[in-house]
Chain A
Amino acid sequence: MNSIGEDCNELKKQYDACFNSWFSERFLKGQTDDSACAPIFRVYQECVKRAMKEQKIELREIETEYTTSSEYDNSSSSGGKQQQSKS
Chain B
Amino acid sequence: MVVAASTCRTETVFDYSWMNVVVAYWNRYPNPSSTHVLTEDTIQREVRDGKLYSRRLLSKTNPVPKWGARFYNNVPVKIVEDSVLDPVKKTFTTFTRNLGMKKIMKVDEIVVYSEQKDGKTLAVRRAYISSQVFGFSRAIRAFGIERFKSNGNKASNGFNHVLRRMFPHSQLVIHPQPSIATASSASELAVATVATTSSSSGNHNKSETFKSAAKVGYEFFKCHASKIAQLFSVRN
Contact = CB atoms under 8 A, between A and B. Distances in A.
A80 B57 contact: no
A54 to B, nearest CB: 14
Given A20-B26, A57-B99, A62-B80, A1 B39 contact: yes
Nearest to B19: A28
A15 B42 contact: yes
Interface residues of B, number: 42
Contacts of B57: 4, 48, 52, 57
Nearest to B4: A79
Given A3-B41, A57-B78, A27 B5 contact: no
Given A1-B30, A19-B26, A41-B45, A62 B3 contact: no
B218 interface: no
Contacts of B37: 1
Interface residues of A, number: 40
Contacts of A30: 87
A30 to B, nearest CB: 7
Interface in B1-50: 3-7, 19, 22-23, 26-27, 29-30, 37-43, 45-47, 50
Contact of A72 (B7, B52, B78): B7
A-B residue pairs, 4 tightest by C-beta: A76-B7, A1-B29, A1-B40, A4-B39
Interface of A: 1-4, 8, 12, 15-16, 19-20, 23-24, 27-28, 30, 32-34, 41, 44-45, 48-49, 52, 57-59, 61-62, 65-67, 69, 72-73, 75-76, 79-81
28 contacts: A1-B37, A1-B39, A1-B40, A3-B39, A4-B57, A8-B41, A15-B42, A19-B26, A19-B42, A19-B45, A23-B26, A24-B23, A27-B52, A28-B22, A28-B87, A32-B50, A41-B42, A45-B43, A48-B41, A49-B43, A57-B78, A59-B99, A61-B102, A66-B84, A72-B108, A76-B7, A76-B128, A81-B3
Interface of B: 3-7, 19, 22-23, 26-27, 29-30, 37-43, 45-47, 50, 52, 57, 59, 78, 80, 82, 84, 87, 93, 95, 97, 99-100, 102, 108, 110, 126, 128, 130
Given A3-B39, A75-B5, A76-B6, 17 more contacts: A1-B29, A1-B37, A1-B40, A2-B40, A8-B41, A19-B26, A23-B22, A34-B47, A48-B43, A48-B57, A59-B80, A61-B102, A65-B82, A66-B110, A69-B126, A72-B7, A75-B128
